[in-house]
Amino acid sequence: MNVNIDWFLLVEALYGMIVLAVALRVIYDSNSTSKTLAYLLLIILVPVVGILFYFSFGINYRKRKMYSKKLATDEIFLKNFEQRMEKVKKSFSEKQFPLVDSNQSMIRLLANKNMENSPLLISNQADILLNGETFFPRLIEDLKSAQHHIHLEYYIYENDEIGNQIKNVLIEKVQQGVQVRFIYDDFGCRSIRKNIVVELRDAGVEIFAFNKITWIALANRMNYRNHRKIVIIDGAISYTGGINISDRYDNTKKLKDSLYWRDTHLRIYGDATYALQHIFLSDWNFCSKQSLRVNSDFFPLIEHEKLGKLPMQIVASGPDSQVPSILYSVVKAINDAKSEILFTTPYYIPDETLQQAMIMAAMSGKKVKILLPQVSDSKMVQWASQSYFEELLEAGVELYFYQKGFIHAKSFVTDSGVSSIGTCNLDHRSFDLNFEVNAIVYDDEFADQMRKIFYQDCENAVQLNYKRWFKRNHWKRLKNSFLRLFSPLL
């Protein structure tokens, strides 16, 4: 008996079953309606490639948790450390800082166990550093003064002048007996894998790639990047913010076709360094497979009489977080602002929660201002970002575009005295996919500095006019609207 098999129909039916199964997986796996719809659209409209893209980039690791943050602890030190922190809290409560009282709701949110237990740390000094030409000399000075250990964690470290200068300092410190540990993102630091990484390792620096890219897990590991920029020196001094190790951040260097690069970083001396140290050690134990212990070498008892009183919380988030902690902190800051909140970000691709928070704040009479680059380093991201502007403008949000160069700073400040400097952009990737860290500061003087910096940057920016934006041609509108469908994937 001859049976004619229509192979085309068979393959078509099989593919339809695969699409249905993957669609069900997408619906089950994602907590975000916009992301679910974007992946469903991609799977249906782009045969085969859409499915491959989802399995490469779309798996929700927050459900699966990429790794568990566990540190072996020195119980005796930990007990002493907790007792000491209780004394600090008692001393602090007696001083009754008004801004801490008025921002108790925000502080409790960030200290919640689901938000990585970010404690309020009071005894700190902090300096705002603008651009690489200010940051790099200060960093090198502190690195040279290290006595016990240097810890670095970077998304981008380049094989250029500043990269080699810092490399030489690290090698010199190792030769002096200082412990140097370095975590580099395997994607962002790909230019140093075969040179600086090798030189540092040969010199005695302990250096590991975070989530090393292998061909078997290529796409997923490229998608979940370590975007943090952390430096810790002797457990007392620390740095975080937007500046990577690259000559492009130093505007005194004459690089070919280089833009003026505007960025913001933070130098901390005090208790908040402990929180950054905890993040680093957690990341280190994950990527090195070691088990460094919490002890007095990494968490030294700093003499508090030498410090100022600058209340601060360090907020980390990533695919390993139970909730998108930094997103929650941003939305909370918007809601708690009295009459003004100022954002600086190189990328704006919000989820529904952030977009609605911006709109509601502006419609409630708050001044909401966002400073963005005039020209982005990604056209697709820029076009997708533009699809959100009309809603913001209609609500009264003011949008400014920096024209002096490229603005890469990630910060905000509110008139409630809450400020933030960190590594997190206002986009899906930073809130959901990348490992990020922000410093939240509760201080009027600090907020005044941040506010002045924002308005100084606005002197080199132009405000987007709603009427002109509304009149843009239909092709641009269609392009923006189409890319918005895929914005959760960018």
- pLDDT band of residue 216 (cuts 50, 70, 90) is very low
b/e 234-268 (16+ beta carbons within 10 angstroms → b): bbbbbbbbbbbbbbbbbbeeeeeeebebbbbbbbb
pLDDT of residue 94: 47
DSSP state of 303: -
DSSP state of 224: S
Residues assigned a catalytic role: 227, 229, 234, 408, 410, 415
Q: With CA atoms as reference, report the closest residue to 172 among 206, 204, 138, 137.
A: 204
> What residue has token string 């078509």?
12
- pLDDT higher than 60, residue 412: yes
What's the CA gap between 278 and 303, in Å, rounded? 20
How much is the average pLDDT of 197-213?
A: 91
- Per DSSP bridges, beta strands 179-185 and 149-154 are parallel
- pLDDT band of residue 444 (cuts 50, 70, 90) is very high
pLDDT of residue 305: 64
Task: Name the residue with higher pLDDT: 313 or 4.
Answer: 313
pLDDT of residue 58: 59
How much is the average pLDDT of 229-241?
A: 97
What's the CA gap between 263 and 261, in Å, rounded? 6
What's the CA gap between 21 and 87, in Å, rounded? 57
Number of residues in the chain? 490
pLDDT of residue 1: 44
16: phi > 0 → left, psi -120 to 50 → alpha, else beta; which? alpha
Percent of the chain whose predicted confidence (pLDDT) is above 90: 50
Strand partners, 421: 411, 439
pLDDT of residue 79: 66
- pLDDT higher than 60, residue 387: yes
- pLDDT higher than 60, residue 221: no
Across 240-244, 281-285, 371-375, which has the greatest mean pLDDT?
A: 240-244
pLDDT of residue 303: 73
How much is the average pLDDT of 125-148?
A: 97
Residue 193 three-state SS: coil
Planar angle of CA 148, 82, 440, nearest 5 degrees: 75
Of the given ranges (106-110, 221-225, 237-241, 456-460), which has the lowest mean pLDDT? Answer: 221-225
How much is the average pLDDT of 319-343?
A: 92
Mean pLDDT of the chain: 83
The phi, psi pair for 474, rounded to 5°, reads: -65, -35
- pLDDT higher than 60, residue 219: no
Of the given ranges (23-27, 37-41, 84-88, 331-335), which has the lowest mean pLDDT? Answer: 84-88
- pLDDT band of residue 483 (cuts 50, 70, 90) is low
Structure tokens at 306: 């030498």
How much is the average pLDDT of 472-486?
A: 55
- pLDDT higher than 70, residue 393: yes
